[in-house]
Structures are given as C-alpha cells and as structure tokens.
Amino acid sequence: MQITHPHALLVILFVAAIAPLFNELPIKLRLPLVVLEILLGVVVGPQVLDLIAVEGSIRTLSALGMSFLFFLAGMELDFASLRGPSLNLGAAGWLISIAVALSLAYAFQAAGIVSDPLLVAVALSTTAIGTLLPILRDAGELNSEFGRFLLGAGAIGEFGPIILFSLILTGDQSVMLRSGMLATFVLIAVACSALALRLRPPKIIEALSHGLHSSSQLPVRFSMFLLGGSVVLADNFGLDLLLGAFAAGSLVGLVARGPEAESFRHKLDALGFGFLIPIFFVTSGAQMDVAGLFANASAMVRVPLFLLLLLVVRGIPVWLYRRVLPAKERYALAFYSATALPLIVVITEIGKATGRMLPENATALVGAGILSVLIFPLIAMALRSRPPSRES
C-alpha cells in the first residue's frame, strides 16, 4: 500500500512543529502537548485529511519514539530519593489498583464488553508520571511532602504496568519461565547499575564531559547504545521492548544526577521531545479509529465509562494515605494518579496490532486517557490550591 502523501514524514514534522504554537495563542485554554499531537495526528491521518499512513520507515520511527519516551521516563524517576513510606505506599496502592482493575476487566469480559481483560486491566492501572512531571515542576510540588507521595505512586504506577505488560506479551511460555526471564533481566540491570556507580575512572569521566561539548557527543551516543542494547536484551529474553527502554533510562538517570548532568539531560530531552516522541504521538493519533467510535453508540459510551474506571482503579488506594495526608490532599492524589495517557496509547496500539484488543475499546481507552490528562490535573490543582483540611 502506498503512503497517501509522498512526504509523510514532512507532514508529521510539520504537525509536531505547530502543535506547541496552539498554547501560544491569546486564549485561556491550554492543552497538554501530548493531547495536541494526538488530536492533530487524527486530523492528518486517514480519518480526516488522509495525508499519512503509518507504514515502513514511519512505523520504525514511531517505535523508536515510543522507546525513547520510556527511556526518558526511566531517567526521570529517582528511586533512591523515594525510599520509605512514599515508595511503600505507592507499591501497596498499585497492587490494590491492579486487583480492582482485574476484577472489573474480567467482569466486563463476562459481559462481552472486552476481549482481553489482562490488557484492559493493565491500561486502567497506569499513571502518566512522565506527563505529570512538568505539571508538578511548574506547580512547585516536586520537593513537597505531597509531591514525594505522588512521585512514589506515579513511579510504581508506571513501572508496575510495564513489568506486567512485558509478562503478558511474552507469548505461550509458562508463567515460571516468563518470571525467570524477567528476574534474570532485572538482575542484569541491577548489576549494570551497581557497576556503573562503582566504576567511574577519572579519565573516562573526563572524556565523557569533554565529548558532551564537542561534535562527538560521546555521552549521548553511549546512552543511545545502552538504549538499543537494553531493548535487544529484553527482546532476547522474550520481554517487551518498553521494559528494556525503561531499564536503560533508569540506569542512565542513576549515573547522570546532579547539576553537572543538566546539560546532558537537556540534550536527551531535545532529541526525544524535539524529534522522536512527537512522531510516536502523531502517528498514534493517525491510527485512532475515530469514525468507528462515533459510528458505534456503545463505543462512545465506553469513553466516560473508562474515564470513571481510571479514577476508581487509581483512586481507591488513596485510602492507604489517610494517616499521612489530609482529605483534600488524598483527593488530589487520586486525580493525579488517575491521569494516564502515554502507556495507554502503547498498550492499545500493541493490543490492536496483535488482535488482542477490540478496536472500539482501544479508541475509547485512548479517548479516556486524553480526557484524564485534560481534566484530572486541573481538578487536582484546584484541590491543592485550597487550604488543607485535617479531616480523615
């Protein structure tokens, strides 16, 4: 099949370039950039203008953008600073979330609403911590007590689904074999992390620092090699490439800490958010079956249903925080934790490609994810702006 437009990549890059300009218009409405890229992807895709088709090199670049998104998400999460109650409560909360999500998903399967309850449950249990980090940074929440609890919940809310998603997609292997492969991969990643922290020869550090400001861009090249190697290693272990990308980002982020690493991080942000990641989100929008959603009344009903389920699944665990956060902060934590889009896009895209997820459910889940990014952070910020109450 021929690509509709002879320069499809140019169309995608144009969309990526103009998307940020919408938020510069003299209007009060400000949409998250991820949402704008997906919506514009719908416009240039087969559903509206039919300018691009996701195939060939475009599909390869989209997959690379998806990998880079989770590489940067892994870099952002500093697990060392999240030890203690924030991480413990986040882990316990996510276990409750996935249990609730599985119960609801299997009930919907019995009702004939979903075909693969596992994928739907994982999608409902996610938290878009990568999307929330800029919002939290702008609001000055990252260093607050509330921010630490939210980062703990968000870290597990992104890492946990990636682990479970990787296990689901490992084919027909036994659970023991899949778990063993996952454990082996994690041990290799931990060993590499320990080695990277211990072995810091001055000459190598000096060469990397010098290379960052020359045409060699040595630290960036090593990071890309590590990303590719982790993805290949995960694939050889029968795991999803997202786990490899996330592990590579965590390893790089573990080493690249402190003010001296800011320049290096900015370069990776520029490469990811300036080029590769927008391609992934624009092509994701182009592949959304919007016409099928509006043509099917039951599919349209699923958007608010899934939006409510996101809040229920990720909101119920805030009960665990009743001793450490006041009521309004717990409500804000629930809305922030229920914000989910990037991983939902990945899960639905792979679900559709493998035939494990109904197209109407995939589109409805992405629609719910878009609404969650639009609505939930605004509600959470409004709750945080009010004087806190110590009611339990």
pLDDT tens digit sequence for 270-299: 999 899 999 998 998 888 777 777 777 777
CA–CA distance from 101 to each of 96, 110, 349 (Å)? 9, 14, 20
Concatenating the DSSP letter of every residue in 76-140 gives H--GGGGTTHHHHHHHHHHHHHHHHHHHHHHHHHHTTS-S-HHHHHHHHT---HHHHHHHHHHTT
Instruction: Indicate the range of 46-60, 156-170, 197-211 predicted with least confidence.
Output: 197-211
pLDDT for 335 equals 95
Distance CA 166, CA 316 (A): 25
* pLDDT at residue 321 greater than cutoff 60: yes
Which has more pLDDT, 289 or 264? Answer: 264
Distance CA 354, CA 332 (A): 36
> What is the average pLDDT across 311-339?
93
Task: State the pLDDT confidence band at 194, using cuts at 50, 70 and 90.
Answer: low
* pLDDT at residue 122 greater than cutoff 90: yes
* pLDDT at residue 3 greater than cutoff 50: no
CA–CA distance from 103 to each of 121, 149, 306 (Å)? 8, 26, 14
> What is the average pLDDT across 10-14?
95
Per residue in 68-104, pLDDT tens?
Answer: 988 887 887 766 666 678 888 999 999 999 999 999 9
How many CA atoms, within 13 angstroms, populate the side-chain half-sphere of residue 384?
Answer: 21
Residue 105 Cα to chain centre, angstroms:
21
Which has more pLDDT, 369 or 4? Answer: 369
- Look up residue 355 and give its DSSP letter: T
Which has more pLDDT, 178 or 269? Answer: 269
Q: For residue 125, give the nearest of 305, 337, 308, 336 by alpha carbon.
A: 337
* pLDDT at residue 203 greater than cutoff 80: no
> At 99, which amino acid appears?
A
pLDDT for 2 equals 45
Domain coordinates in residue numbering, the chain? 8-385
pLDDT for 103 equals 96
How many CA atoms, within 13 angstroms, populate the side-chain half-sphere of residue 341?
Answer: 29
* pLDDT at residue 357 greater than cutoff 80: yes
Q: What is the mean pLDDT of the chain?
A: 82
Residue 205 Cα to chain centre, angstroms:
31
Task: State the pLDDT confidence band at 201, using cuts at 50, 70 and 90.
Answer: low
Distance CA 342, CA 369 (A): 8
Who's near 231: CB < 8 A, 6+ residues apart?
67, 241, 244, 245, 248
Domain 8-385 sits in CATH 3.10.310.10:
no
pLDDT for 177 equals 64
> What is the average pLDDT across 195-203?
59
Task: State the pLDDT confidence band at 44, using cuts at 50, 70 and 90.
Answer: very high
pLDDT for 392 equals 40
